[in-house]
C-alpha cells in the first residue's frame, strides 16, 4: 500500500497520529496581545453589552447551538475570517485563524490556522470537557479531518474523521463528511474545489455514507448510521417522483447528556421540488435507535433551526403547526406527543434556544431602519408572556449579496450558567462578538 493511501484509512491515521512531524506536532503558539473591550449602554440596550473581539478583523463564533465559552467560562473561542466577497475554494490559499480570547485579561491569541472553514461556522471550533483542548477541522491529505489543539502546550493532533459535534465527555466526534455540506447550503463545511459545483453524492440514499464517529482515545473511525438507515424512517413517501433525488445529512449534534444525536436530513430533487425537504430525526448515541420528529407536512415544510432542549429529551424548533403562523415548538425525541407550541403569543423565527427551566428563550431577528440593516436579540419570558429586546445593533446587509452565505446572523447563545448571552453584530462593518450579562434579568 502506498504511504499516501495508507494515510487515507482509519488504520493509517491511527498508526501515524503520534508520529512527530506527521499528524502530531507542536505548532508555534501565537503571542497573546491585549486589546480594549468596548461597552455599549444606551436606549437600545436592555443591559450594558460588551464587545469582546478586537476591531481589527472579522470574528465569528461557531453556531448558535454551540457554546463557544470554555467550561470555566473564562475563555471565548472565535474564528478570524478573511474578508472575502466570493465563496472560498479549496486550494485558493485562504485560511482562518482559531483564536482564544481571555475574558479576564482582555487578550487574544491565535492557537491554530486552518484551511477548513465556512462563513457561517468559521472553523467549527468547539471546546472539550476542560479549558485545555479545542477541536476544529483542517484539510489534511485532501480531506477534512478533526484536529485537537492543546492550548497549553501548543501540540496538535489530527484524527481520521471530521468533527461537526463533540460528545460532552470529549470521548468522540461525529460528522457527515464536510465536503458534501455545500451541496445543500454553503458555509457550514469545507471549501469546495469548485464552489459553483460542490462535491455531490449519487442519487438515492447511500448505504455506505452517513455520519461517522471517531473515537478520540483510539482514533478509530466507523460509520455510525447511514443515509439509508435514516431515510427508512421517513413516515410517508414523497408526493413526487423520487427519480434522481439525493439524500444528504445536515446538522448533527449530541444532546447535553451525550445519549442522543439530533440529525437533520435533506433531500434534493433535480427539479428543485420542496427545496431541501429538511426533516429532523434523533438517533441514539450508538446509532441503533432512530426516530422521526413531527413536522407539518413531512415533505415541503418550512420549519427550521431545530436544537436540543437542555433536558436532552426534547427538541426546540421553529414550526407552523396546522399551517398557521410560525411558533416556537417543542418536540419529544421519539415523536410522541406531537408538536407542542410553547406560546401562541410570540412569533417564532431566528435561531432560538432555551434555558433549562424553559422560562426564557433567546433568538434573533433582522429589522431595518432608515435603510440600514439591524440585528435584534430577542429575550422572551414564556412564563409571563413578555418580550424584551436585549439590544438592537447595526449589522451587515442581508440583501444584494453575492451569495447568502455572507449574511451575518446574530446567532445568540447562552453562557454555560445561562446568565449571559453572546451574539454577533457589525456596527462598523466588521464582524464582531458581543456579550450581555442578563444575571439580574433572568434570575
Give the integer Cα–Cα distance in Å for 215 and 220: 5
Per-residue burial over 229-254, b if 16 or more Cβ lie within 10 Å, else e, is: bbbeebeeebeeeeeebbbbbbbbbb
What mean pLDDT, rounded, does the chain reach? Answer: 93
Residue 298 domain-assigned?
yes
Average pLDDT over every residue of 4-14 = 36
Lowest-pLDDT range of 267-281, 290-304, 329-343, 413-427 = 290-304
| Residue 17 banded pLDDT, cuts 50, 70, 90 | very low
Band (pLDDT 50/70/90 cuts) for residue 301 is confident
Question: Which secondary-structure segment (H or E) carries 227?
Answer: helix 227-231
d(C-alpha 217, C-alpha 277), whole Å: 36
Q: What is the mean pLDDT of residues 381-410?
A: 96
Residue 159 in any domain: the answer is: no
Cell readout for 355 is 434555558
Question: Longest C-alpha distance within the chain, in Å?
Answer: 67
Note the pLDDT of residue 302.
76
pLDDT of 393 over the 50 cut: yes
- Sign, CA torsion 239/275/187/392: negative
Mean pLDDT score, 29-51: 93
* Per-residue pLDDT at 133 exceeds 50: yes
The label of the residue with cell 440593516 reads: 373
Residue 432 near residue 425 (C-beta atoms within 8 A): yes
Considering its fold, how many domains does the chain have in total?
1
Q: Which residues contact 142 (CB under 8 A, 6 or more apart)?
A: none
Average pLDDT over residues 84-110: 96
Measure the CA–CA gap between 293 and 314, rounded to whole angstroms. Answer: 10
Whether 255 is in a domain gets the answer: yes
Q: Write the DSSP string, 28-90.
A: PPPPPEE---EEE-STTBSS-EEE-S-TTSEEE-S-TTS--B-TTSSEEEEEEE---SS--BT
Q: How many residues does the chain have?
A: 443
Q: What is the mean pLDDT of residues 146-162?
A: 96
What share of the chain has pLDDT > 70, as a percent? 93
pTM, full prediction = 0.93
pLDDT in tens, 217-247: 999 999 999 999 999 999 999 999 999 999 9
Mean pLDDT of 70-92: 95
> CA-to-CA distance for 77 and 196, rounded, in angstroms?
30
Angle, CA 263 vertex, CA 98 and CA 312 arms, to 5°:
90
pLDDT in the model for residue 29 = 62
Range of the domain at 289: 226-336
- 261 assigned to some structural domain: yes
Say if residues 70 and 51 touch (Cβ distance below 8 Å): no
**Peptide bond just before 132 cis, omega within 30 deg:** no
Q: Is the pLDDT of residue 22 over 90?
A: no
Flag whether 122 is in a domain.
no
Whether 136 is covered by a domain: the verdict is no
For 337-360, write each residue's pLDDT tens digit: 999 999 999 999 999 999 999 999
Domain presence at residue 312 = yes
Q: What is the pLDDT of residue 425?
A: 98
Residue 287 lies in a domain: yes
Reading the block at residue 241, the C-alpha cell is: 417522483
Amino acid at each position: 500500500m502506498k504511504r499516501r493511501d495508507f494515510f487515507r484509512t482509519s488504520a493509517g491515521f491511527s498508526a501515524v497520529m503520534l508520529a512527530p512531524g506527521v499528524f502530531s506536532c507542536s505548532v508555534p503558539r501565537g503571542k497573546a496581545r491585549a486589546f480594549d473591550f468596548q461597552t455599549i449602554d444606551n436606549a437600545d440596550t436592555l443591559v450594558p453589552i460588551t464587545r469582546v473581539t478586537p476591531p481589527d478583523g472579522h470574528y465569528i463564533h461557531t453556531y448558535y447551538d454551540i457554546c463557544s465559552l470554555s467550561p470555566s467560562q473564562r475563555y471565548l473561542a472565535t474564528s478570524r475570517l478573511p474578508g472575502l466577497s466570493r465563496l472560498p475554494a479549496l486550494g485558493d490559499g485562504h485560511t482562518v485563524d482559531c483564536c482564544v480570547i481571555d475574558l479576564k485579561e482582555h487578550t487574544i491569541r491565535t492557537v491554530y490556522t486552518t484551511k477548513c472553514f465556512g462563513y457561517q461556522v468559521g472553523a467549527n471550533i468547539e471546546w472539550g470537557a476542560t479549558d485545555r483542548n479545542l477541536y476544529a477541522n483542517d484539510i489534511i491529505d485532501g480531506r477534512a479531518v478533526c484536529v485537537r489543539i492543546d492550548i497549553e502546550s501548543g501540540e496538535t493532533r489530527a484524527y481520521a474523521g471530521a468533527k461537526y459535534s463533540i460528545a460532552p465527555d470529549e470521548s468522540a466526534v461525529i460528522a457527515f463528511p464536510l465536503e458534501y455540506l455545500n451541496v445543500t447550503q454553503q458555509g457550514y463545511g469545507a471549501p469546495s474545489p469548485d464552489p459553483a459545483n460542490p462535491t455531490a453524492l449519487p442519487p438515492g440514499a447511500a448505504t455506505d455514507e452517513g455520519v461517522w464517529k471517531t473515537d478520540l482515545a483510539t482514533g478509530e473511525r466507523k460509520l455510525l448510521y447511514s443515509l439509508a438507515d435514516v431515510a427508512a424512517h421517513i413516515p410517508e413517501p414523497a408526493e413526487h417522483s423520487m427519480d434522481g433525488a439525493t439524500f444528504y445529512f445536515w446538522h448533527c449534534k449530541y444532546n447535553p447528556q451525550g445519549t442522543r444525536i439530533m440529525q437533520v436530513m435533506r433531500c434534493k430533487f433535480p427539479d428543485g421540488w420542496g427545496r431541501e425537504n429538511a426533516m429532523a430525526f434523533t438517533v441514539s448515541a450508538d446509532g441503533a435507535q432512530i426516530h422521526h420528529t413531527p413536522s407539518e407536512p413531512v415533505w415541503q415544510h418550512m420549519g427550521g433551526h431545530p436544537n436540543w432542549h437542555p433536558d436532552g429529551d426534547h427538541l426546540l424548533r421553529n414550526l407552523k403547526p396546522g399551517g398557521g403562523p410560525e411558533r416556537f415548538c417543542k418536540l419529544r425525541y421519539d415523536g410522541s406527543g406531537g408538536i407542542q407550541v410553547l406560546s401562541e403569543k410570540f412569533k417564532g423565527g431566528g435561531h432560538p434556544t432555551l434555558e433549562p427551566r424553559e422560562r426564557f428563550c433567546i433568538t434573533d431577528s433582522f429589522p431595518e431602519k432608515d435603510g440600514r440593516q439591524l440585528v435584534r436579540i430577542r429575550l422572551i419570558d414564556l412564563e409571563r408572556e413578555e418580550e424584551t429586546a436585549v439590544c438592537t445593533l447595526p449589522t451587515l446587509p442581508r440583501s444584494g449579496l453575492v451569495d447568502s452565505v455572507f449574511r451575518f446572523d446574530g446567532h445568540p447563545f447562552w453562557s454555560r450558567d445561562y446568565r449571559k448571552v453572546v451574539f454577533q453584530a457589525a456596527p462598523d462593518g466588521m464582524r464582531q462578538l458581543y456579550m450581555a450579562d442578563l444575571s439580574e434579568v433572568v434570575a
